Structure 1
């Protein structure tokens, strides 16, 4: 069989990011880390330096699963810009060593949470006091059918958020998929919100760019400002706007993509409110949507400012081209005037040439006639006077013929 080079890659993609089957009671600890390309090799090498007693059951560049010492299961998942490490252990087991190893992996943590899963709400009431959740900020609702969650979505003193989950009848694969979607919702939400600080930090740069564009627009209407100076300022401003785009476009695009994933996960979980508590849907929509819309507004504004700078550049080019055309028109008019003057001078010279040539011609003829006057009796002066108009006419006709010959048959 001749396989396509990507066949196994795309088939394996459908089997990535699988969790072990969850059974209440148990605990789940997860970290999401941003890992740059330079640290990817170090991250991959960390699996070869697992604590003693660890075992990797499945490993490729996108997904790793296995067990650590003490029977703690783990999964590692690689995303486009982040990595997720998740630990699974019985509720009463000590996983401090596994957590310490997980925290030593490369990357900057953007989300860390401890999840406690119990069988029902009665068990949840017994575990709740020990979790230290802030009651005034408590979010609680049913998700994925009967399952109920509690969380204040705060970061604890140890750097972890906490969530309590009551399975309430969900078991096996249904419970696993529900908890996984719940974790993915929070992870994608945090990754999406990374765009908000970027948009806020770059917003004043767009304010400055728009102020500079207004100033340049006013300068474009003035004749005392040099085009070269305007072009230099506009080029510098266009570069500044391009720099804003190059440093923010990826983050804004990522925010938009993650926001769509959050909406999908939220729809899959289908949260149902519980009276007296803020639901997961309300908590997510209350601040998440405004943040995402802020990032979208920033992207639109950046494109608008860039387009306006392009319009100003086009106007300045039109102004320069118009001035060049006016200068060319004035130059052509000057050349035309010079040509007319040269033509008039040429006619004047031509007329003087007729007079000069005729003068010398009649003088020569006069000398000839004076010499023949002694042989043949006639008045030489009278003869010269009669011949002079004829000589001038002949000279004028000859010069005119020569000029026509030159104009009608120009030299190559």
Structure 2
């Protein structure tokens, strides 16, 4: 059996929902995993519950101070969901228990999402969303009409978004899953929107980069006597800046794409239908959330296209520089050929002069020899001397010429 089989199979049960009956209140907080916030929250939770958290686990449901609390560890954030049973006579929007302030208070700067879901029975709720403090609310029948959800998506003074769920036919299992979908929509919507400030900042940078790229393209298109080196340096610098900004934003934009897909999927799973003239919950969210996702995606694609354009311009300029280098090399080779041809001509002239000089000295030596023999009383007929010495001299000169040619070949 594969050593990872059990662990991979149990991923089917990795993130269960909290199952409960109404009336109840759910407090849901999401904290970014920055400055050790998640580890600090889990350590504090272990102290309060008396059960140290499992470092290998991704979620856990605990009983803390008589309340059900669930924590979930995600890639870059941690969520806390606290279930508080509610008596019918209690106020509509109770304050969060002190337990949450103990856990979240020291890490309030990392709080990215805070949502409160009030779950009421169909026969007990006030009957109008305005009775719960909503102004111009959006509402939908969800779960094929077994529940109604209302919200105006306005934050309270403490930064909490409120949702009202009126249960008309959901059992504890379906009610837990429905509230989980609503909480995931809010959490992942906020996590996906984290890329919006970065996208707006990059938009201004990309405008400057695009203008700079246009100027460099014009300089490259002009046939001036300008050296390619300054232009190559400017393009390399622009490419480095684009690569740096891409490395800074690539992970954030990829996360936005993944989170937005979860939001779209969870909205589809609500199976909404309209209530009167009120806008549907999912329609209200998508109408305002989808442009954010599209804007971030367009900035990401614009950034990639700009980087590709700079790379193409860099390739064109390098090709141009390579052609210039090849032309210079061809001119240098032609100059070397001319020099080599001149050297060969000079060498041939020197060789000819050398043979003439050697021949002159050789015949001079023969002449001196004949004169010496005549002084000793040996009479030599000139015709005989010429017949003997001429072939010998020519042979010696031929041997010298052959040796010169052999040295040249080596």
Normalised TM-score (structure 2): 0.87
1:72, 1:95 within 8 Å by CA — same for their partners in 2? no
Structure-2 change in CA distance of 1:378 and 1:17 (3 Å):
closer
| Corresponding pairs, count | 399
SS in 2 for 1:125: coil
2:46, 2:53 within 8 Å by CA — same for their partners in 1? no
1:22, 1:172 within 8 Å by CA — same for their partners in 2? yes
Residue from 95, 113, 116 that aligns with 1:114: 116
Q: 2:81 — aligned with what?
A: 86
Q: Distance in 1 between matches of 2:316 and 2:407?
A: 48
Deviation of 1:394 (Å): 4.8
What does residue range 109-188 of structure 1 map to in structure 2 within 5 Å? Answer: 109-120=111-122, 123-125=125-127, 128-129=129-130, 131-135=132-136, 138-146=137-145, 147-188=147-188
Q: Distance in 2 between matches of 1:99 and 1:130?
A: 27
SS in 2 for 1:104: helix
What does residue range 173-252 of structure 1 map to in structure 2 within 5 Å? Answer: 173-221=173-221, 222-252=223-253
Residue ranges of structure 1 left out of the alignment (5+ in a row) = none
Residue ranges of structure 2 left out of the alignment (5+ in a row) = none
Deviations 1:267-317 (A, max 9, x none): 111111223111122112212222111222222122212222222222232
Q: 1:367 — aligned with what?
A: 368
Q: Distance in 1 between matches of 2:394 and 2:204?
A: 87
Deviation of 1:229 (Å): 2.2
Q: 2:352 — aligned with what?
A: 351
Structure 1 window deviating more from structure 2 (240-249 vs 194-203): it is 194-203
Residue from 72, 75, 78 that aligns with 1:77: 72
Normalised TM-score (structure 1): 0.87
Q: 1:38 — aligned with what?
A: 36
2:118, 2:165 within 8 Å by CA — same for their partners in 1? yes
Q: Distance in 2 between matches of 1:326 and 1:316?
A: 15
Deviation of 1:392 (Å): 7.7
Q: 1:49 — aligned with what?
A: 47
Deviation of 1:355 (Å): 1.9
Structure-2 change in CA distance of 1:394 and 1:211 (3 Å):
farther
Structure 1 window deviating more from structure 2 (221-230 vs 337-346): it is 221-230
SS in 2 for 1:30: strand
Deviation of 1:217 (Å): 2.2
Structure 1 window deviating more from structure 2 (152-161 vs 220-229): it is 220-229
Q: 2:99 — aligned with what?
A: 98
2:112, 2:190 within 8 Å by CA — same for their partners in 1? yes
Q: 1:67 — aligned with what?
A: 63
SS in 1 for 2:250: helix
Structure 1 vs Structure 2 CA RMSD: 2.9
1:144, 1:271 within 8 Å by CA — same for their partners in 2? yes
Structure 1 window deviating more from structure 2 (101-110 vs 299-308): it is 101-110
Q: Distance in 1 between matches of 2:288 and 2:388?
A: 113
Q: Distance in 2 between matches of 1:159 and 1:102?
A: 17
2:209, 2:238 within 8 Å by CA — same for their partners in 1? yes
2:25, 2:117 within 8 Å by CA — same for their partners in 1? yes
Q: Distance in 2 between matches of 1:219 and 1:240?
A: 20
Structure-2 change in CA distance of 1:88 and 1:194 (3 Å):
same
Structure 1 window deviating more from structure 2 (152-161 vs 13-22): it is 13-22
SS in 2 for 1:118: strand
1:362, 1:384 within 8 Å by CA — same for their partners in 2? no
1:55, 1:67 within 8 Å by CA — same for their partners in 2? no
Q: Which has the higher contact order (CA 8 A, sep 6+)?
A: 2
Q: 2:21 — aligned with what?
A: 23
Deviations 1:23-73 (A, max 9, x none): 1211111111111373343232111332xxx5659855421322333x332
